[in-house]
Every structure is written in C-alpha cells, then in structure tokens.
Chain A
Amino acid sequence: MSKKKSRRDFIVIASYSMGAVGAGAAIWPIINQMNPAADTLAMASTEVNIGALEIGQALTVKWRGKPVFIRRRTENEINDSRQVDINSLRDPQADEERVQKDEWLIVMGVCTHLGCVPLGQKTGDGKGDYGGWFCPCHGSHYDISGRIRKGPAPENLEVPPYSFISDNVIKIG
C-alpha cells in the first residue's frame, strides 16, 4: 500500500513539477523582451568628426542615448592633471590611463553618483573646484581628467570604448 502510494505521489509531483518548469520557461521571454532589442544593439557605435574642435573647446555627442564629453585639452590642463598625487584620489587612476592621445579626453557625461549630467561643457558653466566638471544634483566635482575629487560620487567619469579612425574621426563603441 505505502509503496503504491509513494509511486502515486511521485507521478503527481512529477507532473506538477513539469508544470512549474514549463511556466518558468514561458515567463523568460516575457522578462527578456524588456532587454535592449536587436535594432537598439545595432546602433551601439557612433562616429564623430572632431576636426573642427579648437584647443580648449568641448563637444558633447550622444552615444547609446547618453552624453559623451569630448574635450580638447590645453597644455596646462594636461600638466595639471598629471601632477596630481594619484594616491590622494578616491578612485586612483593616472591621467595617462584615461586617454589615448594626451590632447583628447573622452568620457561619459554621466555622474557616477546617480546619473545626472555634470556641468562644465558650455563656456558659461561652472566647472567645479578642480576645473573640470561639476554635477549640480549632489555637488560632485571632477577634474580635467574626469576624475572624482570632491562630493558623493564614488568613481571617476567612465571612459567609453573608442578608437581613432583617423586624426579627425573617432568611433565610440
């Protein structure tokens, strides 16, 4: 009797378990449809012509819907950012690690605190205490290498993947 009963329980449990597994598998497409779609993923790279940018000027472009800050830095700015004691930084990183060509700083214009866009790209903007960018949301200050110097943000501005296709054209993504 008990043997019979346990076999019966097994089959009942097995069939309901299949139901649970099936429901789980069916739910996956419902979740996955919220991930970026194929056309969104295909737009993952963008080419930017930077030939018209003078020394000291900045350019903001959109990549994956987010702003990318491109800054053609002056000799002084490059020197300033290289003289900083790396160990004193919250997110220690040398300026050389953050650029491919000294003159060109290319970083995501997204504050690493909570995702606002920092000020400092336009000539009239406040550039914060370190001459780079200042995030108005919660007061994070970034230097001219995009590194976090003061305020709540935990990390430096992210450097997106990019490459120089020619001297005047970069490809982001």
Chain B
Amino acid sequence: MKSSIPNSQFKNPVINWIDTRLPIFTAMNEAVGTDHPTPKNLNYWWNFGSLAGVTLVIMIITGIALAMNYTAHVDHAFDSVERIMRDVNGGWLIRYIHMNGASFFFIVVYIHMARSLYYGSYKAPRELLWILGVVIYLLMMATAFLGYTLPWGQMSFWGATVITNFFSVIPFVGEPIVNWLLGGYTVDNPTLNRFYALHYLLPFVIAGVILLHIVALHRFGSNNPLGIDIKSDKDMIPFHPYYTIKDFFGLSVFLAIFCVFVFFLPNFLGHPDNYVPADPLSTPAHIVPEWYLSPFYAILRAVPDKLLGVLAMFGAIGILFILPWLDRSPVRSAHYRPMYRVFYVIFIVNMLALGYLGVQNPEGIYIILGRTCTAWYFIHFLVIMPLLNIIETPKALPKSVSDPIFSSGSSGLSPAASRKLK
C-alpha cells in the first residue's frame, strides 16, 4: 500500500501528508527555498524585486482596510477620507502608509528597472520576463492614477480630467470614448465610482502578472552582475538561507526609510492642493502629476501638437516593450561595455531631468530643456542602443562567476551570446 504513493520528502509528517497531495510546499521551496538555485554573486541591486513584492502586499492590505472606511461618492469622498484621518482607529497611519507606499512602490520598481537596464537582464533569453515587468509597470501607473482620484481633492479631480482627456486625441471617436470613460461629460460621480472599482481590481491583476513574472524568472534563473550564464553548480547557492536573510536585511533598511516618510514627512511627496476639496469650476494654478508620472508628463508637454504629444508619451512607455530587440549587443552586463556605461549614466540623468521638468511651469528655458531631454530619451533607445553593438568593443568576459579569469575573444561570451555571434 505504502509504496504506491510517491511520497514527498518533508520531515514534518503533517507537511509531508499535505505536500504529497497538494505540493504547495515543494512549490514554495522551489520558489524561495532551498531548492531554488541562485547565482552566488548577486549584489544589493537584486534586493529590489522582493522589495517590490512586499510593497505590493503592504499596499493591498492597507488598501482593503481603507476601502472599509471610504465612501465613493462625490459628496462624501473627501469627508470620508478626513474621517479616516481623524476618527477611525489608526486611520491616519493606514492612509499615510498607503499614500507614501504608492511613491515607494515606484521608487523600488524604478530601481529594479534601472538594475535590469544596467546589467542587461532584459536580454535573451529573458525578453518575456522583461516584457511582463513592463506590463506590471503600466498596470501600476494605471492603478496609481485611479487611486489618486479617490480622495476627491483638487489634484484628484483635475488630474483625472487631464488624463482622461488624453483619449480625446483619438481621431473621430475620441470624444465618445472620453464620455464613455467618464460616464458623463465631465469627471463626476459615475467616474469616481468606476475608478474606485478599477482601483480595487487592478492590484490583483498586478499580482497575477507578478506570478507570471516569477514563472518566467525561474525558467532561466536570475541574471547576475557579470551578465554571464552560469555553467557550474559551484557558482550557485540555494535561495534559502542565503538570499532570504539578505532580502530580510534589505527589507529592514527599506522599511526604516519608508517610516521616516510615513511618520515624519507624510505629505512631502504629495501636493497641498489635494487637501482642497474638488471644485469643478476652478482649476488650481499649477497642476502637476505625482512625481512618478512626471517624466512622462514632461514628454507630453515637450511636443507642441496635442495628438503627437500624447503619442510621444505613450510611445515612451511602448518603446520599453521592444527594448530587447533594440539592444543588439550580445554582452549583458554594462560592466563589460565601456561605452554603454557612459550612455547609461547619461540616460539616468536625462530621466531625472525629465522628472524635474515635469513639475515645472512650461516656460522659458524649461521648454527647450524639456524638448532636448525628450529627444534624448528617444535617441537613446532608437539610435544609441542599436548603434552601440556596431561601434563598441566589449571587454573580455570572465569564464565563470567564481573563476574570474579573463579570456579573450568570443570564447568568453555566454553560450547564448556566442550562439548569436555564429
């Protein structure tokens, strides 16, 4: 009898009994446990993936708590948020965590993306892993925008008005589509209600795409700072206990920084105008997006034509989808790409500049700067990236992670890369 069941191999009999029938513990072990081999040379930039996961969990939990106290009606939304801040037990804490959590989610994800860009994590065979990541990023932007509408302050209202108006540039059907999105002729109660429903839904969609993101990650394992394929088991260590403790340490530091904002600078990343109740009859003097959408807002404004501006903005995000095919260099890590390294730094500075310009009044020097930075954004992806493969001579790659002996020529390239070269 006993032998007919292929038993799991856990010491704890209860876990073993369950796992034999429902292998969730095996799955966990393969995801973040002792059965998940990981390159042993990952640096701290690799912490941000798990940090993003934790941040999403924090956002969902605090979000559900807020939803229990929030009223999605134009006459009550602002008041219900103030009631959360003043009367609900610990309400101010939950809301400030959720509010600042959105910003920190983006900080973490931006660093995660910057890591990927520097170490070439988006390259073959991880193109779909990257694309799923961009999908998550898009969903995050949508969720953040929808959520920002809910407190029904001035920025909520006018942000929703401006962003939904993007769709009016669509030829012929733009106007009907905007009215369909809004459920009326202006941002009003139907808009608030549907935004609330979608804001509640999207995080779970994000969680689903994250699952796919992880499945794709485990297909070929993590990239590493050297960007070479790992050939021997000697260069691998199990995720647990090594990366669990490292991620845990990173999480402690991250949460400490997060708490500085939640408890001491809760409104630093927000805008004062959102503490003024929405007024459909008066637009605030300066409407600015939240900082994490600011670079794209700068791109939108850089183009003097309405349709082209919106296209440029969406194009700026869309371009990320084809990045794995724009960058033809077989070498992943910027460590071994002297020219790409320089352009990478320029790109990051350019992004920061766009972020800065997005919250400035579009006048004088800012207009020229905005256009230059926008142009550079596209040049970087469409011209520099493909060109580098031709003009750049990569440094010699080490043979393995633990054996950083430099070899010359193409023999030192990763197998995937050398296959490409043939």
**Measuring CB to CB, which residues of chain A are less than 8 angstroms from any residue of chain B?**
12, 15-16, 19, 28-30, 32-35, 37-40
Contact = CB atoms under 8 A, between A and B. Distances in A.
A12 B241 contact: yes
B241 A33 contact: no
B231 interface: no
Given A12-B241, A12-B245, A19-B248, A29 B87 contact: no
A29 B86 contact: no
Nearest to A11: B245
A29 B89 contact: yes
B86 A38 contact: yes
The 9 A-B pairs of least Cβ separation, nearest first, read A29-B90, A38-B87, A37-B87, A39-B87, A32-B89, A37-B88, A30-B65, A33-B65, A29-B93
Main secondary structure of the interface of A (DSSP, over half): helix
Interface of B: 61-62, 65, 68-69, 83, 86-91, 93-94, 241, 245, 248, 252
A37 B83 contact: yes
Main secondary structure of the interface of B (DSSP, over half): helix
Nearest to A32: B89
Nearest to A40: B87
Contact of A30 (B61, B241, B252): B61
Contact of B89 (A15, A16, A19, A35): A35
Nearest to B86: A38
A32 B248 CA distance: 27
12 contacts: A16-B248, A28-B90, A29-B90, A32-B89, A33-B65, A33-B90, A33-B91, A33-B94, A34-B68, A37-B87, A37-B89, A38-B89
A34 B67 CA distance: 11
Contacts of A16: 248
B87 A30 contact: no
A29 B90 CA distance: 6
A172 to B, nearest CB: 22
A39 B83 CA distance: 8
Contact of B94 (A12, A30, A39): A30
A32 to B, nearest CB: 4
Given A29-B89, A35-B89, A15 B65 contact: no
A29 to B, nearest CB: 3
A59 to B, nearest CB: 30
A38 B89 CA distance: 7
A28 B94 CA distance: 11
Contacts of B89: 29, 32-33, 35, 37-38
Nearest to B64: A30
A33 B248 contact: no
Contacts of A33: 65, 68-69, 88-91, 94
